[in-house]
Amino acid sequence: MAMMCRSCGTVAEPKTLKKGTSSLEVLLWLCFLLPGIAYSMWRWNTRHKVCPACGGSMVTDYEASRPSSARRQTDSVEKLAKR
pLDDT: which is higher, 73 or 28: 28
Cα atoms in the Cβ-side hemisphere of radius 13 Å centred on 14: 22
Give the pLDDT confidence score for residue 53 in this predicted structure.
87
DSSP one-letter string for 5-64 = ETTT--EEPPEEE-SS-HHHHHHHHHH-HHHHHHHHHHHHHT-EEE-TTT--S-EEEHHH
Contact between 44 and 25 under an 8 Å Cβ cutoff? The reply is: no
Pick the range with the lowest mean pLDDT from 2-6, 22-26, 40-44: 2-6
Tell if the pTM clears 0.85, that is, is over it: no
Spatial distance between the Cα atoms of 39 and 32, rounded to a whole number of angstroms:
11
